[in-house]
Structures are given as C-alpha cells and as structure tokens.
Structure 1
Amino acid sequence: SGPIKYGEWHWDDDGVPDGPIVITVDLDARVLSVFKGGYEIGAAAVLLGTDEYPTPLGTFPILAKQRHNKSEKYGGAPMPWSMFLTSDGVAIHGGHVVENGYASHGCISGPDGFVEKIFAIARPGDKVIITRGEMMKLGQKIV
C-alpha cells in the first residue's frame, strides 16, 4: 500500500476500552497516530512546520482546545478543532492553511474529519509526543 498520503486517514475504536489518550507525531513519516489505553485507534498523514518554523520535538500536554479558531499569522484563515501544545501557538488543527505542502508556523495540520474525531475525545493535559523517526521501542509503554 506504500506510505500514507496527505488526506488519507483511518479511525477504528470499536471495542477499544476506555483509557488515556496519547497522540504521537512522527516528523519523518509525517504521520499522526492516536492511542486510547495503549491501542492505536487512528492515524493520518499530516502537514508540519517549515524549516524556518519547525514543528518542535518533545512531549507536550494539550494546553487548550478551540473549536472555531482563526489564524492570526495567515490573515484569519480558519483553523478548526485547534488543540494548542505551546504558549506561542503551535497546535494540532484542521483547515486548509497550506503553503507549499506545509502547515505553517510549526503547527500540525490534518484532514478535518480526522482532527474533529481527536478533538472530540482529547482533553487538556493529554500527552502529545513528537519525534523524528522511530517512536516507541518494542514493549515500551505509551501511557
């Protein structure tokens, strides 16, 4: 099937027990994955920051959520379902703020339908782990 392309995503949480939500972002693969109680329930190809404004590496709690957000840096472009990770505005969001295949100032942008599903279950304080390449070692707990 090859690598996942932007616009492609899947979501399947049927029968998955309740548990902590953890989001991982692999900057090399450009894939965001969602885990519930340690089970992967969704994944999508995402757009990331530019070389000038890279998406930061590390573990971030979701600081705040905003259903109808507009970009201050891109002339009020809609950025729905924003989940903010840093105080300077790096967020996971939907919308179509795309310049040369990049989402912008370090943000992580995914397909609206996918990001809406994350927004519905993620809460402030939930962890977002951003890495380059291999994310988890075999047997390493994600929660």
Structure 2
Amino acid sequence: MSAWVKPALTQPQGAIISSKMQELQQSDQRWIQIDLTKQRLIAWEGSKPVYAIVVSTGKRSTPTRIGTFAIKSKHRYNRMRGEGYDVPNVPYTMYYYGGYAIHGAYWHRRFGTPVSHGCINLAVNHSKWLYNWASVGTPVVVHK
C-alpha cells in the first residue's frame, strides 16, 4: 500500500508563500512582495529588487489577506465603495484578489501604518510607477 501524500494546498500558508518567493527569485520574472510587518512593498525582477517603498495595508479590523496572488485587472481610475467608505477616482488601481487591490491613496499620508480596508495603499507617485511597471498576471506575494 502506498503512502498518502498531502496535496500542496494543505501545507501551512507560510511554507507555500516561502516556496513561491524562492521560485520567483530563481526566475527573471517581475513580481511584487508586500511585507505586512514592515509595511513595505518591493518590486522585483527575479532576485533583483528594483523599487522599494513604504505602504499602508489593512488595519486590524479589516486586514490585508496573506497569500500568493496575481494582478487580475488594472484601472487608471476606479471608484471604491464598501462599508464606511466611498472613494471616487482612486488612481492606478491593480486588483489582485477579489476586492483587494494595490492603489494610490490621495486621502491620507499615513504610509507605514496599517489604515486601509485591506488594500495596499501607496503614495500616488509610487502607485503610478508600479502601475506602469506591472502587468496583468504579475505575481503578488503578501506575507507577515
């Protein structure tokens, strides 16, 4: 009788994230790393960091989801609505999982502090650079 092997999806989240980061660093692919603990975003080309900035991620009551994702859609401007907020003309929005996005934030300057409803907030000038650099399909890795 052969031994049963656990599918990759049952691995602890940290092991999956770590494995994906190693795989991306061994490629020449563009990818985005979000470090929730340090409130940092790093744009990579394989193992070479090409851009690093301070961001604001989700606050405790509306946390940013951890995991491995990919840019699903890009919008130069987008309206974002949810419980307790309705923000028009959100610049350089890149959705990577459901309603979660990386985008510019013109309504605050508290970068480095978790203040969002789960999205990754960047200063508008930084979000413009990242929006122009990334494409649909660019991997996004979010970890603690």
Amino acid at match of 1:49: G
For these two proteins, the number of residue pairs brought into alignment is 113
In the TM superposition, what are the counterparts of 1:51-130 in structure 2 within 5 Å?
A: 51-73=60-82, 74-87=85-98, 89-98=99-108, 101-130=113-142
Q: Normalising by structure 2, what TM-score?
A: 0.71
What are structure 2's unaligned runs of at least 5 residues?
Answer: 1-27
Q: Quick one: distance in 2 between partners of 1:60 and 1:97?
A: 26
1:60-118 CA distance string (max 9 Å, x none) = 1111000111222322343200010112x110000224497544220000111111111
Residue 131 of structure 1 pairs with residue 143 of structure 2: yes
RMSD: 1.8
State the identity %: 29
TM-score normalised according to structure 1 size: 0.72
2:38 pairs with 1:29 = yes
Unpaired stretches in structure 1, ≥5 consecutive residues: 1-18, 133-143
Higher Rg of the two aligned structures:
2
SS of the residue corresponding to residue 48 of structure 1 reads coil
Is the CA contact 2:32–2:43 (under 8 Å) kept in the aligned structure 1? yes
Aligned-partner Cα distance in 1 for 2:40–2:109: 18
Q: Distance in 2 between matches of 1:99 and 1:123?
A: 26
Q: Is 2:49 the partner of 1:40?
A: yes
Name the CA shift for 1:84/1:125 in 2 (closer, same or farther; >3 Å): same
